[in-house]
Amino acid sequence: MLNRVVITGYGVVCPIGYSTAEMMAGLAGGACATKRMPAEWNRFGPLRCQVGAPIELRDPKAIPRPQRRTMSSMSILGVQATIQAMAHAGLDPKDVPENPRFGVIMGSTTGSPEAITNTYELLIGKHEYMMLGASEFFRCVSHTVALNVAQYLGCKGVVSATSAACASGLQAVGAAYDQVRLGRQDIIVCGGAEELHETTVGSFDILYAASSKFNDSPSKTPRPFDKDRDGLVCGAGAGTIVIESYEHAMKRGAKIYAEVLGYHTCSNGTHVSQSDESSMITCMNTTLEEAKLRASDIGYVGAHATGTEQGDAAESRALAGVFGSEIPVSSLKGNMGHTLGASGPIELAATIEMMNAGVIHPTHNLDEVDPACAGIAHVRKSTPHKFNAFLKNSFAFGGINSAIACAVVR
């Protein structure tokens, strides 16, 4: 027998809010976090993209220095989101070190880009390993967020990291779902975190995937599904989801915000950077099949849509192929930019909030739907809408697709 799996808490630090409540107020108010970035943005050469969705850290010194010294800003954000999620779930951090069935799974695109850049600048410039600080390694490693969250909590259970670009955070949630439904852990904090750094933006800039036409009017980008979209806007952020078995949640009297019914991840196996609607359709249909849901049971789809020309068009065709033109669809990246490996759990938390409040927030900056993105029910304004189940997508370079289906507890 597989365990039922539920979500009992979440925490968010994102460009439009330093908490779930701030984020939802930003979505309701039509906030856009995109800003023109400073001249230092171009220290490795001029970028076409001069915009980003940054975060200013709040009170990082609340994390004790012995733990904070191995943390870059992305790990600090991850710990802060986890602190929020633990409180939201009614969990006492003091209980974690005593529980070998409490785990941590956190994802990110890479280790800290800032730490990696600093490390190589020292190595190449000085040719001397001994100039590196003892803690720098722990900021650079690909599992830096997972290890720092786990060490902060004193975790004795499963600790794992997912690294699949923009799908990293949702894959972490999916991995936690599998651990809990198979009975290997009772409860897991999971999600993802990212920094905003010019080298990350540069990787998209080289591929002509970053927005560059709105450098002088940053609040007008990104523009998911819009005819004038010209690429994504990178952002910083972190999202943590508390995944728990239904039985464990009931025993401790936890409030349940949603039940996870299905999850799937797959590859297109055809192209490293071009989106492929057929594999997206496979991913969504397999998720629905595992969830024992029909497409018509879904009341809302949280699109991945980042504002890239090909990605948004392919996702639109895939959504039309699975859901037709009746199910409401929106992307939240027009408000907060693309927080990469953190985007899945951040947007998952927002979607659960919308489901429980009976409202859908629109795709910001969607002024005129591109004909290539037609055929689906775009949400153009905040709309009261009762729905009991939803699907959330996260897609990534490398041909990686992931989707999760959640519902109110039956």
Residue 257 lies in a domain: no
Tell me: do 179 and 220 sit in the same domain. Answer: yes
Catalytic one of 143, 197, 264, 338: 338
Residue 256 lies in a domain: no
Residue 388 lies in a domain: yes
Digit-coded pLDDT (tens) for 308-338 = 999 999 999 999 999 999 999 999 999 999 9
Cβ-contact 121, 131 below 8 angstroms? no
Tell me: do 227 and 102 sit in the same domain. Answer: yes
Digit-coded pLDDT (tens) for 283-295 = 999 999 999 999 9
CATH of the domain at 389: 3.40.47.10
339: enclosing H helix or E strand: none
Tell me: do 281 and 197 sit in the same domain. Answer: no
Tell me: do 227 and 321 sit in the same domain. Answer: no
Coil vs helix vs strand at 266? strand
Contacting residues for 184 by C-beta, under 8 A, at least 6 apart: 158
Average pLDDT over residues 55-77: 97
Catalytic one of 304, 361, 364, 378: 304
| Domain span at 399 | 263-407
- Percent of the chain having pLDDT more than 70? 100
Tell me: do 123 and 269 sit in the same domain. Answer: no
Tell me: do 219 and 354 sit in the same domain. Answer: no
Tell me: do 236 and 377 sit in the same domain. Answer: no
Q: Which of 225, 251, 277 is a domain's end point?
A: 251
Tell me: do 109 and 211 sit in the same domain. Answer: yes
Tell me: do 292 and 367 sit in the same domain. Answer: yes
Q: Where are the alpha helices (DSSP H) in 270-381?
A: 277-291, 309-323, 333-336, 343-357
Digit-coded pLDDT (tens) for 82-101 = 999 999 999 999 999 999 99
Indicate the number of domains in the chain: 2
Cβ-contact 48, 59 below 8 angstroms? no
The pLDDT of residue 148 is above 90: yes
Written as one string, the DSSP assignment of 100-150 is TTEEEEEE-SSS-HHHHHHHHHHHHHH--GGGS-TTHHHHHSTTHHHHHHH
329: enclosing H helix or E strand: strand 328-330
Short-list 403, 365, 401, 396, CA closest to 203 = 396
Tell me: do 10 and 152 sit in the same domain. Answer: yes
Evaluate if pTM is beyond 0.85. Answer: yes
Short-list 281, 297, 322, 311, CA closest to 372 = 311
Mean pLDDT, the chain, integer: 96
pLDDT score for 129: 74
Instruction: Please confirm, yes or no, whether 166 is among the known catalytic residues.
Output: yes
Tell me: do 207 and 314 sit in the same domain. Answer: no
The pLDDT of residue 379 is above 90: yes
CA distances from 37 to 44, 73, 168, 219, 249 (A): 14, 18, 25, 12, 44
Instruction: Please confirm, yes or no, whether 338 is among the known catalytic residues.
Output: yes
Q: Which of 251, 286, 308 is a domain's end point?
A: 251
pLDDT band at 131, cuts 50/70/90? Answer: confident
Cβ-contact 84, 18 below 8 angstroms? no
pLDDT score for 272: 79
pLDDT band at 270, cuts 50/70/90? Answer: confident
The pLDDT of residue 130 is above 80: no
Digit-coded pLDDT (tens) for 174-198 = 999 999 999 999 999 999 999 999 9
Residue 258 lies in a domain: no
| Radius of gyration for the chain, computed over Cα atoms and rounded to the nearest angstrom | 20
Q: Which of 202, 230, 251 is a domain's end point?
A: 251
Short-list 262, 258, 302, 291, CA closest to 89 = 258
Catalytic one of 32, 49, 140, 166: 166
| Residue carrying structure tokens 């490693």 | 141
Check residues 399 and 217 and name the one with the higher pLDDT: 217
